[in-house]
Amino acid sequence: MLTSQGKNQATLILIKPDGLKKSLTGNILTRLSETKLEIVGAKMVRVQRELAEEHYKHLKDKPFFEELIKYIQGELHGRRKVMALVYWGEDAIAKCRALAGATNPEEAEPTSIRGAYGRITTKGLYENVIHVSSTPEEAEREIKLWFKPDEIIVDLYPKKKIIIKEKEESIWA
Ligand code: IDP
Ligand code: MG
């Protein structure tokens, strides 16, 4: 019998600063492992303002934009980092979005990650613990923003080699 097979997709997951502060990393990774998707990239990131603004540029005109930038940069939680991951596999976006739950934590399924651990701040911002890309196009844009090609262990998107001369970088002393 033919079964309808979904396509392999990649999605960007961010464990936001509230997720880190609430020690939810292990819990969230365990929940996501139910999907049987593969982690193909992972790192801790100190989020610069430029990255934050680019990531959330679709919300630039919203009244909560400034607060949102502070949130993803960790200024609301004294945790200036996020954990960035790329999950890959069949229907990755829908599977991860379902586990994450609705954007508004009050409307999210109580058993979803956002429903269980999210909150709305007194300023009205949804602190919802986790980010998940919502379409393949958004995933591609976001993954390219957060990761370099060599930081991902599969070939997701076309890439090219360049030679960079006299580039300063840190090496172990
Ligand atoms: P998503 O994270 O579910 O994809 P987006 O609309 O892309 O939702 O919004 C990005 C983030 O901005 C949300 O995760 C949440 O933290 C915040 N946000 C979105 N809409 C609102 C709102 O109406 N009020 C407060 N915060 C919001
Ligand atoms: Mg979104």
Task: Determine the pLDDT at residue 7.
Answer: 87
Query: Is pLDDT above 80 for 1?
Result: no
Spans of all domains in the chain = 2-151
Question: What single DSSP character describes residue 85?
Answer: E
> What is the greatest pairwise CA distance in the chain?
60
Condensed to tens digits (0 to 9), the pLDDT of residues 129-147 reads: 999 999 999 999 999 999 9
CA nearest ligand 1 atom 6, residue: 103
Condensed to tens digits (0 to 9), the pLDDT of residues 5-54 reads: 678 999 999 999 999 999 999 999 999 999 999 999 999 999 999 999 99
Q: What is the CA radius of gyration of the chain?
A: 17
Q: What is the DSSP string of 58-102?
A: GGTTSTTHHHHHHHHTTTTTT---EEEEEEEEETHHHHHHHHH--
Condensed to tens digits (0 to 9), the pLDDT of residues 78-132 reads: 999 999 999 999 999 999 999 999 999 999 999 999 999 999 999 999 999 999 9
CA nearest ligand 1 atom 3, residue: 103
* pLDDT band for position 75 (cuts 50, 70, 90): very high
CA nearest ligand 1 atom 24, residue: 125
Between the CA of 164 and the centroid of ligand 2 the distance, in Å, is 34
What H or E segment, with its residue span, contains residue 67? helix 65-72
Q: How far is residue 154's CA from residue 2's CA, in Å, rounded to a whole number? A: 28
CA nearest ligand 1 atom 21, residue: 126
Between the CA of 17 and the centroid of ligand 1 the distance, in Å, is 15
* CA nearest to 99, candidates 33, 20, 10, 25: 33
Q: Which of 71, 73, 126, 132 to mutate to test the pocket of ligand 1 (most atoms within 8 A of CB)?
A: 126
Between the CA of 6 and the centroid of ligand 2 the distance, in Å, is 21
Phi and psi (nearest 5°) for 11? -145, 145
Joined tokens for residue 103: 């954007």
Between the CA of 127 and the centroid of ligand 1 the distance, in Å, is 8
Indicate whether residue 128 lines ligand 1 (CB < 6 A): yes
2-151 carries CATH number 3.30.70.141:
yes
Indicate whether residue 55 lines ligand 1 (CB < 6 A): no
